[in-house]
């Protein structure tokens, strides 16, 4: 993790601002021979694309990815892969009002305090648009995982919007792709639609919790003690715009458990592999994957660009009120779902390569 | 963040196992001219040391730090600082019973699955003893902060033990140093003592939530978008043994807020600096410090070494029951408090140096 | 230095292949507020551009740089700068003959052995075209040096072509820009033109030695012991295509000196700064700049793409002869001059930022 | 390569000063299961140890290595290996005369200019004693190579002392271990002894060229374009104290060759592997190993600590003369031989792990 790059061996550098000519991801360290083309990456970008329902920003970006390097005749070559997305819908005039005043809860003020240079055209580098580049890179990671660890399956979904959490008893994976919230609970989806419509119309916004699960991850991934799998997942998720909390397995709730309750008991499975009686650990012990499902959750705060007037100051130090017009997401957590999936894919591939490099095939057998 | 090293410019590599000859931290990138000696570091180590109350492991380690390099006549020289702590109380026989079976909830099994080599003497590298090295490194970071940003004040404390959270209305910083739990609530301290005594006697353990606050942090620290201050804090805290969740400011609760509620309104202070009406952001916007208090919380799961029998398997694949004798912490979260403080100190110093290097004094003025 | 990225704080990742859609550099860590525009970078690219004399490849690439991010209204913002150069003259058919056989002395065979994937269109990633991206990044570094260390002046020139070295007694800096070889010796320039014409017509190629000097570099840059200024310069220069040797100051000739001869004696200058009686050290002692001129030389081997038949093998293991047609540089060392300058600029800026971050203004005074 | 750490996956951080309590190496990323013990590492340290002949410093350091972590029952565990060497012969009084004045050609002055703190006890961090830690780390790397690439054989030797080069026609590897110079030419050894005795008695010193060859290195190691095998070797060698030039294969002499001469022709060997007609490339093409011998040379400048008076200045700015008494190496290049071997071992292991991680077994076949 270093400034605009993340990953140890599979290294992704994202670049670009919301209203510049383009943005993208420079992906270094992808193994050779991975089948990748623009269409495969576009598939994932389309999931994140704005304007797909009335619940996301009405900004319309085709978000078409162009592969500029690193792929030859549909296969990665082992050299850096440059993924570029042109910005096309750059109505900067929408932002004229906020060029001088800082939006409360937004990075406007900290970028100014840090750099002394402020690009008033939208959020610049701090815009959620940056995450399109992550999703593109995640598409490459998924393709590589498909080749190297074909059993891995990554699924993201929302489990809470505002105060409304899903009912785990109604959890139905088949629902995820059928509603605009990627929520695995049909009843929640219906209720959330009403709730968010109200919020949207009132010019307000709301937070959310996203859960990302990776099934089929081999045991042994993760490198103690600062390159732990959960350490890297926490960093990856916390680096997403607006994220304020990250949990693995039981997460914050682990604090309330006793050792007796928390211990995931171990048994032998029919295939000579260990089987766990529960998964409080979220698939990670000591920073290393156990072979169980990897379970990560993160909380996304509400968008700070809202229509309700808020008190703020200008660059010249005057106190004022601000209202952020423009086309914003009432619940930016919705579009964070494919971003969380992408980060999971990148981190898993990175640790798969690290493990292969540092340990080879020398893991311990049981039995 | 890379395997056993963390930090960008202030780089800390910890090394050593719980029952080997020694453990320590190799600290690279500390500025020259910082007043440091063994006594200053020992001060922080003594806070973390086991055996200080009946609520922490009775293992008695003097944890005396020796500075082997990088300091000359009481000042850092700019070269690597080697901090070594000899292990002296290594009753390995305590662990004889667990040499073959894996403790549920413990890294025993994942280290075996990854490396195929298992040091049966305690937790080896995954032991909480590794955190002594972090605290030592944190002592160096604190000394450097004292020179470069003397207004910074870092305070850690427990806010929850098991199901029992503190009452924020009773929050009293003066209480923190007066009880064995570093809890800023005298009434909670009394109740927790009774609760933990019961648990301890029953051979059980429990989780906790620790909060670490840094006051006086200058605005502008943090580097978008993967070297964000909150990204690095999340990684730093998640890398601590047994941590399962990390929160900044509102944390997971941010999901339940609306944009109107979450926006920290901005006003002008008397000194020409911005003043915020609230701190839902936990002092960080867009990954960059705002000048408000930095607020981080993390959840520590209960120790997996407990006396209650749990089902497990052995290396040879046999199912069995395990009871972990030895001298363990009933609530390892207690000793995580100074560790969290140390990680905060390291991350803040690192970002102070990064900011100085990359941006210099060129931040933007308000007014 | 890591795979396709170099630099510690000023980090340059180059990407792209000779015959793909585009190539470029992702530049992370440039300070904010540096005046940069496409024209400023184009200035340096034009120096390196092929087809400027009969002594460089006749491939015609306009090499026009496009700035896709990180610059707003002519100033860097502190965020990643994406520099893209479209490939326009991609006559891949020229390379048809070499799609199966490996060129002796070329990376064809090693890329195949490593990756099992071979892009037969020119050198792919190993092509000297990659260095255009370095020159573009160097343009950014020069602009930043211009702001932060305006006294630094970087000059590259050839000092040897094939067996013909310049005569140091005729050294005339004013000559450098007047001949196609960037050689500071008019008589050498004349002789080399005749020599290289003969070689070129015979379809042969030849090596060269390039020297790069940086004047006005402040004392104190460089970080012991693996981030030394000379270590990073050696890596930077050795990473340029076809470079086989790197020297600092006396270089390999230092082996023949005695300690008495080699010691650069030190005196006090009129301005209270140390003055050295000689510069065998090339401006670097213990990996740290002395304030003298930094002097680096590197040897470039002859291009392996030649018209003289050479024995080789094909991918299917058949022995054969190969002749490389196409438009190649008879002395690729010529175009390495601006590349060496660019690497010097990047390394100096990087160490200036590192020094500022880690040491601040705390260097020692003399007197 | 970053400050006091080198390597990508096999990461070595050296620490310690010549006259502090101890020095050592923190080795992170060594694969598990490598047979290592203190005796194996001591073997290599003893080769480098001072005081073995009248041609090296008479300072007597037992240089006994202690393994503090990362090895359990004679095998590496995959966790950081701490190698510590206590300093025992620290006659700091020898250096009293040089506490105020700077030795010409020495890092005294640059450390002062950079850090403003100067440890007057010998060279501090810039002392050649730091290389003992490299040799210890190299011992671990050799053991790991022995397990993972048992065909690799690394041999270092001197090929030039002062103006006296060996005669390649007399090259006899069996001679290397029979003389105090590790020179593969018996006649040279005899002549050098006389030459160096004279120099030593006159209080002077002299430079040298060391060559290190690695046989049996698999094809495919090295990562374009900034993690090239030759890039990393150049950095590794240039980081050794007193090194001023590094060459791969033909090195600086490549400049004088034509393309026809330089092209190493390729044939098919009896075993279906390519065979090269020559090795001008030094075993590396495009930064990737060819399977031929890797050949690296580096020039070591003469020790700056000499008895001949040299003009210099003091910290207070006074001009003076200096004579460096104490026990110094008349030709520090001699002891650089095992250091060069160690760096070669570390770089090769690092790239073996990198290749395994990033590419796996997917290299291309010929035939």
Tell whether D57 is within 8 A of chain B (Cβ).
Answer: no
Q: Looking at residue D365, what is its pLDDT?
A: 83
Nearest Cα residue in chain C from B79 = C224
* Contacting C residues, span 181-240, partner chain D, CB-CB under 8 Å: 199, 204-209, 219-228, 230-235, 237-239
The predicted-structure confidence for A262-321, as pLDDT tens digits, reads as follows 999 999 998 888 999 999 999 999 999 999 999 999 999 998 878 889 999 999 999 999
Query: Residue C1: its pLDDT value, please?
Result: 46
Q: Are A28 and C4 inside 8 Å of each other by CB?
A: yes
The Cα–Cα gap between D108 and D100 comes to 10
pLDDT tens by residue, chain D, 367 residues: 469 999 999 999 999 999 899 999 999 999 999 999 999 999 999 987 766 777 777 666 788 999 999 999 999 999 999 999 999 865 555 555 567 899 999 999 999 999 998 777 778 899 989 999 999 999 999 999 999 999 999 999 999 999 999 999 999 999 999 999 999 999 999 999 999 999 989 999 999 999 999 999 999 999 999 999 999 999 999 999 999 999 999 999 999 999 999 999 999 998 888 999 999 999 999 999 999 999 999 999 998 878 889 999 999 999 999 988 766 789 999 999 999 999 999 999 999 999 999 999 767 888 7
Query: Measured between CA atoms, how close is C319 to chain A, in angstroms?
Result: 26
* Alpha-carbon gap: B75 to the closest alpha carbon of chain C (Å): 13
Cβ–Cβ contact A251 with D under 8 A: no
The reply to whether residue B33 touches residue D3, judged by beta carbons under 8 angstroms, is no
Whole-model pTM: value is 0.97
The answer to whether the CB atoms of A357 and D9 lie below 8 A apart is: yes
| Other CB atoms within 10 Å distance of the CB of residue C180 | 15
Annotated binding residue D54: yes
Annotated binding site of C for FMN: 125-127, 241-242, 286, 301-305, 327
**What is the CATH class of D5-359?**
alpha beta
Q: Which residues 113-172 on chain B approach chain D with CB closer than 8 angstroms?
A: 114-117, 119, 124-125
- Residues in contact with B177: Cβ distance below 8 Å, sequence separation at least 6, in sequence order: none
Chains with ≥3 Cβ pairs under 8 A against C?
Answer: A, B, D
pLDDT number for residue D96: 58
Residues of B in contact with A221 (CB under 8 A): 114
For C72, nearest residue in chain A (alpha carbons): A119
- Assess whether pLDDT exceeds 90 at residue C10: yes
Annotated binding-site residue? A245: no
* Annotated binding-site residue? D11: no
Q: Which residues contact C198 (CB under 8 A, 6 or more apart)?
A: none
Taking the C-alpha atoms of residue A124 and residue A16, their distance in angstroms, rounded to an integer, is 8
pLDDT computed for residue B36 by the predictor: 97
Helix (H), strand (E) at residue B225: none
B353 at interface of C, judged by CB pairs closer than 8 A: yes
Task: Tokens for D228, please give them.
Answer: 């090239």
pLDDT of residue C248: 98
What number is the average pLDDT over the span C59-65? 81
Helices (H) and strands (E) in chain C, counts: 7, 18
Residues D258-314: tens digit of each pLDDT: 999 999 999 999 888 899 999 999 999 999 999 999 999 999 999 887 888 999 999
D360 interface with A at CB cutoff 8 Å? yes
A258 touches chain B (CB under 8 A): yes
**Does B80 contact D4 at a Cβ distance shorter than 8 Å?**
yes
Of C209, C244, C258, the CB nearest to D249: C244
pLDDT tens track, chain B, 367 positions: 469 999 999 999 999 999 899 999 999 999 999 999 999 999 999 987 766 777 777 666 788 999 999 999 999 999 999 999 999 865 555 555 567 899 999 999 999 999 998 777 778 899 989 999 999 999 999 999 999 999 999 999 999 999 999 999 999 999 999 999 999 999 999 999 999 999 989 999 999 999 999 999 999 999 999 999 999 999 999 999 999 999 999 999 999 999 999 999 999 998 888 999 999 999 999 999 999 999 999 999 998 878 889 999 999 999 999 987 766 789 999 999 999 999 999 999 999 999 999 999 767 888 7
Contact B23, B82 (CB under 8 A): no
The whole-number pLDDT of residue A94 equals 53
Kindly report which listed range (A196-205, B84-93, C24-33, D101-110) carries the lowest average pLDDT score. Answer: B84-93
Query: Domain limits of chain B?
Result: 5-359
Statement: residue A1 has pLDDT above 60:
no
**Length of chain C as a residue count:** 367
Give the span between the Cα atoms of D129 and D329, in whole angstroms: 12
- B270 contact A CB<8A: no
C353 has a chain B CB within 8 A of its CB: yes
Please state, rounded to an integer, the average pLDDT across all residues of chain A.
92
The answer to whether the CB of A95 falls within 8 A of the CB of A116 is no
Query: What is the predicted pLDDT for the residue at B305?
Result: 78
Interchain contact, D9 vs A356, CB within 8 Å:
no
Task: Say what the pLDDT of residue B98 is.
Answer: 63
Residue C29 C-alpha, separation from nearest chain A C-alpha, in angstroms: 8
CB contact under 8 A, B115 and D32: yes
- Measured in angstroms, the CA of B259 and the nearest CA of chain C are apart by 27
Q: What is the pLDDT of residue A115?
A: 93
Give φ, ψ of D288 to 5 degrees: -120, 140
Looking at residue D119, its pLDDT comes to 72
pLDDT at D273: 87
**Contact check, Cβ <8 Å, A228/B238:** yes
Cα–Cα distances in angstroms (integers) from residue D77 to residues B5, B115, D73, in the given order: 17, 7, 9
**DSSP states along C138-171:** HHHHHHHHHHH-TT-EEEEEEEEETTEE--GGG-
For C307-363, how does the pLDDT look when each residue is reduced to its tens digit (9 = 90+)?
889 999 999 999 999 988 766 789 999 999 999 999 999 999 999 999 999 999 767
Q: What would the mean pLDDT of C24-44 be, rounded to a whole number?
A: 96
What is the rounded CA–CA span in Å between residue D16 and residue B79?
Answer: 8
Closest chain A residue to C69, measured at CA: A16
CA distance D53 to A45: 68
Whole-angstrom distance, CA of residue C74 vs CA of residue C84: 17
Asked if residue D218 lies in contact with residue D168, where contact means CB atoms within 8 angstroms, the answer is no
Structure tokens at B265: 């309104």
CB contact under 8 A, D268 and C367: no
A286 touching chain D per CB within 8 A: no
The minimal CB distance from D359 to the residues A31, A224, A359 is found for A31
Q: CB–CB of A238 and B239 under 8 A?
A: no
Instruction: For chain A, say whether C1 makes contact (Cβ under 8 Å).
Output: no
Across the interface, which of C207, C267, C289 has its CB nearest the CB of D319?
A: C267
Q: B124-140 burial, b if ≥16 CB within 10 A, otherwise e? A: bbbbbbbbbbbbbbbbb
Query: How far apart, in whole angstroms, are the C-alpha atoms of residue A87 and residue A19?
Result: 7
Q: Does B69 appear as a known binding residue?
A: no
Interface test with D, best of B117, B122, B137 (most D CBs within 10 A): B117
Cβ separation D32–A79 shorter than 8 A: no
**Predicted ipTM?**
0.96
pLDDT 10s digits, A12-53: 999 999 989 999 999 999 999 999 999 999 999 998 776 677
In terms of CA atoms, which chain B residue is nearest residue D22?
B68
Q: What is the pLDDT of residues A219-263, one digit of tens each?
A: 999 999 999 999 999 999 999 999 999 999 999 999 999 999 999
**Contact criterion met (CB < 8 Å) for C9 and B224:** no
B290 contacts chain A (CB < 8 A): yes
| Residue of A5, A12, A26 for testing the chain C interface, max C β-carbons within 10 Å | A26
Residue A163 CB: number of other CB atoms within 10 A?
A: 12
**Interface contact flag, A15 C82, Cβ < 8 Å:** yes
CA dihedral for A110, A116, A122, A125, sign (positive or negative): negative
pLDDT at residue C362, rounded to an integer: 67
Q: How far is B54 from chain A (nearest CA, A)?
A: 18
pLDDT at A122: 72
Which whole-number Å values give the CA distances from C51 to C189, C200, D101, D283, in the listed order? 18, 14, 54, 32
Q: Which chains touch D (3 or more CB pairs under 8 A)?
A: A, B, C
Interface touch B288/A107, C-beta < 8 Å:
yes
Q: Do C254 and D300 touch (CB under 8 A)?
A: yes
Q: Per the annotation, does A362 bind a ligand?
A: no
Could you tell me which residues are beta bridge partners of residue C268? C274
Which chains does B contact via 3+ CB–CB distances below 8 A? A, C, D
CB-defined contacts A:D, below 8 A: 47
Strand locations in A33-133 (E): 65-69, 71-72, 75-76, 81-86
């Amino acid at each position: 993790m270093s400034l605009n790059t993340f990953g140890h061996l599979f290294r992704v550098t994202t670049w670009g601002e919301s209203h510049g000519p383009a943005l993208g991801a420079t992906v270094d360290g992808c193994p050779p021979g991975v089948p990748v083309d623009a269409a495969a990456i576009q598939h994932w970008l389309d999931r994140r694309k704005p304007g797909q329902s009335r619940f996301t920003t009405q900004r319309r970006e085709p978000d078409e990815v162009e592969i500029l390097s690193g792929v030859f005749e549909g296969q990665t070559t082992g050299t850096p892969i440059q993924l570029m997305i042109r910005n096309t819908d750059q109505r900067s005039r929408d932002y004229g009002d906020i060029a001088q005043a800082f939006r409360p809860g937004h990075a406007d003020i900290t970028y100014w305090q840090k750099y002394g240079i402020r690009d008033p055209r939208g959020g610049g580098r701090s815009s959620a648009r940056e995450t399109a580049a992550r999703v593109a890179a995640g598409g490459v990671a998924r393709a590589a995982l498909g080749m190297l660890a074909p059993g891995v399956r990554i699924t993201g979904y929302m489990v809470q919007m505002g105060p409304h959490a899903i009912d785990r008893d109604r959890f139905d994976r088949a629902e995820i792709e059928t509603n605009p919230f990627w929520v695995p609970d049909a009843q929640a989806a219906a209720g959330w639609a009403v709730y968010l419509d109200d919020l949207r119309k009132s010019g307000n916004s709301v937070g959310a919790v996203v859960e990302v699960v990776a099934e089929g991850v081999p045991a042994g991934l993760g490198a103690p003690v600062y390159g732990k799998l959960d350490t890297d997942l926490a960093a990856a998720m916390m680096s997403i715009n607006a994220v304020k909390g990250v949990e693995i397995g039981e997460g914050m709730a682990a604090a309330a458990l006793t050792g007796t309750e928390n211990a995931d008991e171990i048994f032998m499975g029919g295939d000579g592999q260990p089987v766990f009686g529960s998964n409080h650990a979220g698939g990670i012990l000591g920073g290393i994957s156990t072979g169980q499902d990897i379970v990560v959750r993160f909380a996304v705060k509400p968008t700070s660009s809202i229509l309700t007037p808020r008190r703020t100051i200008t660059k010249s130090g005057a106190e004022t009120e601000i209202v952020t017009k423009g086309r914003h997401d009432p619940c930016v957590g919705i579009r964070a779902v494919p971003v969380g999936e992408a980060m999971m894919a990148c981190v898993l591939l990175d640790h798969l390569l690290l493990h292969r490099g540092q340990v080879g095939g020398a893991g311990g057998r049981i039995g």
